Structure 1
Amino acid sequence: MVHNSNISLAMIVKNEAHNLPKCLDSVKDIVGEMIIVDTGSTDNTKEIGINYGAKVYDYQWNDDFAQARNFGLQYVSGDWVLVLDADEVFNPKIISQITPLMEKDDCLVINLIRHEIGTVSSPYSSLSRLFRRHPQISFSRPYHALIDDSVIALQEKEKQWKIFDSNEVAIAHYGYQPEVIAQQEKAQKARKAMESYLAQNPHDAYVCSKLGALYVSLGEIKKGLKLLKTGLKSSLATSTTLFELHYHLANAYVKEGQISLAVKHYQKAIASPILGKLKLGAYHNFGSLCYQRGQYQQALNLYRQCIIIEPHYAFAYYNLGLTHRAMGNISLAMETYRQSIKLNPEYPWAYQNLGVLLLQQGYMEESAEVFQKAYNLHKQQNRPVAENLKEELKLVGLNLND
């Protein structure tokens, strides 16, 4: 029987006073100990950890996440290790699902699904964040530090060990929200660390995927394409990494205008033998490509597949609304916009597009209410867009309140 005392939380932190309490609150009732490695906080991060009963250790930061995580592992005493970052919140309800897996004598690692809060097209990822404490398990890679390399090596020596996947969301991650990324300059830190690792490991499929995708996001598309194609040639790529390579290649080819290649790689990504939640980005972006090309029925099918996989995926409903409208299905468009708003009431474009249809259908009073909500949200998120909407509505006799 696995008891709470057998799970140890392991974290590395720096200046996380604003995030840490929420993170620790989410695990305080399910772990037996908290091991926190502080890499140089100047706020009261350490004091918060100590107040929660954590053992806090100082570590001199050296641009290597793996080394910092391994420093913390030496202090862990539980049978199982749960790894979290301060900008993550654990879902304690998942414990009832993963406890039977932890009780299996041959279970070495449980991959946990993480919800990437704030991302639009790829809301889920799978990470090896819960594992049996074993002297052969350690982290590698200076950025996106993973235990996976050591686990593969251990499985080759000790054949009994197995890896299991949990199917429900275990972690909510807030670090991909745009304003957070801007504050932490994550992209440049990631680039520096991964380029250093790539110099020593030029054919590593995982780093080719992550760094290639980063290059594409920074606008260095040719550089990204070259690296992603290098990753595909690796014989050691896992199913998840192969999915990511095809997915990022497809996104890059869309930006390059090489549509047939984009379609080919979206199709290969979707065919990957991994959990449906992890493929949402491929279904969604392929749907958007079909929509942009006027292939509305195909777009509709892909967005519907997103909703089958994840019924609470607000952005898929929004895009379904756009597609229904393009196909002339106004009532269906309004219905799906409303569903999108219900699931994510903070997205102004869903209100704005619904307002346009209501106005066109002659529902003046309701359209004014919906446009007002769109305006208020735009004002908070992008004031020039809000002002532009206000001026356009004046031309049709609708006056919004400030």
Structure 2
Amino acid sequence: MLSLCTIVKNEETSLPTCLSSVKDAVDEMIVLDTGSTDRTPEIAKQFGARVYHFEWRDDFAAARNEALKYVEGDWILVLDADEVLTPQIVPQLKQAILQPGNLVVNLVRQEVGAIGSPYSLVSRLFRNHPAIRFSRPYHAMVDDSVVQLLQREPQWQVGYLPDVAILHYGYQPEAIASKNKFQKAQAAMESYLAKHPDDAYVCSKLGALYVQAGDIARGVELLKRGLDAKSIDDLVLYELHYHLGIAYEHLQQLSLAKYHYQAATQVPIFPKLKLAAYNNLGNVLKDNSKLQAAKTAYETALQIDPNFAPGYYNLGMTLKVLGRLEDAIAAYQKAINLNPDYAEAYQNLGVVLLKVGYVQESLSAFARAIALHEQHNPSEAQRLRQGLREMGFNV
């Protein structure tokens, strides 16, 4: 028996999509409401979920553990309201929970709209074992309890499913802004850090948050502290190096950025999780005129994930500088096929098409780029239109 377990607050907009994605895959749905003032509990009940209530304590682990109390199934699938289960993963998921030795099955989550890493590995499918509990007030996870359990009961194993299992929409800019996610995360993690100053995991998460918020020096200090921790999980080690790479890019210290991105690519974790490190490494190499090395980094990223549109775009940029214009055109077109709203890809496709003499095709690409820019970046649309007029084109 498989149980969905989720905690919610004011999720009437996203919850129907989440529950629709799992209603035919699970045997029961447990929804713990932490203080909704909208129709969230009512919607959950309409989907057949059992709804319980819990007073919010600024601690995600406490809420998730409260939800676990009501689960009756042998296995637990944890989703948030801004996540959906992909339909193609369901047969694999069903097969995985039938394996007698599996204790936890890690799932690949795609971060839809994320600026950084497009994939993460999350421990969201696990046995209903009394020793498995969530820890940490933010980014709550069962990993700490699982490590302790495996030491006592070594017959268990941790597996993973290689295909994307969860689509997460919470990192889209409008979702972050609407829920003050950065502020909530920072407050919770700073409180935890005060009690656990050398915890590599919280150093990684909070350090990355500082970097993203523009507090680079504070972020670097915390990320470097994480690298000095006595015990570092491979996934955390990757994140520490990856976010240090980002920080040093912001500081224009490209040799250090390159070092940390390269270190991130060498960590022995699931290859898809290293996609952003390869892509960012390529960007640093390209900016440092190491074009062949940049090309190799982008090609490695595309070998890992042939559907990675930014990889094709960046490869196209590199091929353009190398003078391989027809190959650059092909790379931009692949990026556009994967992401039809990729304004920058259309814009640079227009540039290369014009260089090789395909004027009408070029103007069509520029027109599409302008239309897309007008939706999200009107100033760039105006700049591009003005530049074309100065060249004698009225687009």
Same fold per superposition (TM over 0.5): yes
After superposition, the C-alpha distances for 1:233-287 in whole angstroms (9 at most, x for unaligned) are 2232211111111111122122223333222222211111111100001101000
1:284 has 2:279 as partner: yes
1:224 has 2:212 as partner: no
**Which residue does 1:83 correspond to in 2?**
78
The equivalent position to 2:345 in structure 1, one of 344, 350, 370, is 350
**Which residue does 1:50 correspond to in 2?**
45
CA distance, structure 2, for counterparts of residue 261 and residue 369 of structure 1: 41
* Correspondence list, 1:207-356, <5 A: 207-356=202-351
Size of the aligned set, in residue pairs, is: 395
Residue ranges of structure 2 left out of the alignment (5+ in a row): none
Instruction: State the shift of 1:360 in Å.
Output: 2.5
1:146 has 2:102 as partner: no
**Which residue does 1:102 correspond to in 2?**
97
Which residue type is aligned with residue 337 of structure 2? K
Instruction: State the shift of 1:215 in Å.
Output: 0.9
CA distance, structure 1, for counterparts of residue 276 and residue 54 of structure 2: 37
CA distance, structure 1, for counterparts of residue 115 and residue 176 of structure 2: 15
What TM-score do the two structures reach when normalised by structure 1?
0.96
Taking only aligned residues, the RMSD between alpha carbons, in angstroms, comes to 1.2
CA distance, structure 2, for counterparts of residue 230 and residue 167 of structure 1: 31
**Which residue does 1:203 correspond to in 2?**
198
Instruction: State the shift of 1:46 in Å.
Output: 1.3
CA distance, structure 2, for counterparts of residue 283 and residue 347 of structure 1: 20
What secondary structure is seen at the aligned counterpart in 2 of 1:86? coil
Instruction: State the shift of 1:163 in Å.
Output: 0.8
CA distance, structure 2, for counterparts of residue 106 and residue 150 of structure 1: 17
Which residue type is aligned with residue 337 of structure 1? Y
**Which residue does 1:163 correspond to in 2?**
158
Which residue type is aligned with residue 115 of structure 1? Q
Distance 1:219 1:188, change over 3 A: same
In the alignment, is the contact (CA less than 8 A) between 2:325 and 2:356 conserved in 1?
no
After superposition, the C-alpha distances for 1:162-195 in whole angstroms (9 at most, x for unaligned) are 1111111000111111222122221111110000
Instruction: State the shift of 1:59 in Å.
Output: 1.5
Residue ranges of structure 1 left out of the alignment (5+ in a row): 1-5
1:30 has 2:31 as partner: no
CA distance, structure 2, for counterparts of residue 172 and residue 249 of structure 1: 26
**Which residue does 1:92 correspond to in 2?**
87
Which residue type is aligned with residue 207 of structure 1? V
In the alignment, is the contact (CA less than 8 A) between 1:246 and 1:266 conserved in 2?
yes
What secondary structure is seen at the aligned counterpart in 1 of 2:148? helix
In the alignment, is the contact (CA less than 8 A) between 1:355 and 1:367 conserved in 2?
yes
CA distance, structure 2, for counterparts of residue 371 and residue 15 of structure 1: 42
What secondary structure is seen at the aligned counterpart in 1 of 2:145? helix
Instruction: State the shift of 1:35 in Å.
Output: 0.4
What secondary structure is seen at the aligned counterpart in 2 of 1:196? helix
The equivalent position to 1:134 in structure 2, one of 126, 129, 136, is 129
Which residue type is aligned with residue 388 of structure 1? R
CA distance, structure 2, for counterparts of residue 229 and residue 135 of structure 1: 36
In the alignment, is the contact (CA less than 8 A) between 2:211 and 2:219 conserved in 1?
yes
What secondary structure is seen at the aligned counterpart in 2 of 1:359? helix
CA distance, structure 1, for counterparts of residue 370 and residue 19 of structure 2: 37
In the alignment, is the contact (CA less than 8 A) between 2:258 and 2:285 conserved in 1?
no
CA distance, structure 1, for counterparts of residue 58 and residue 331 of structure 2: 46
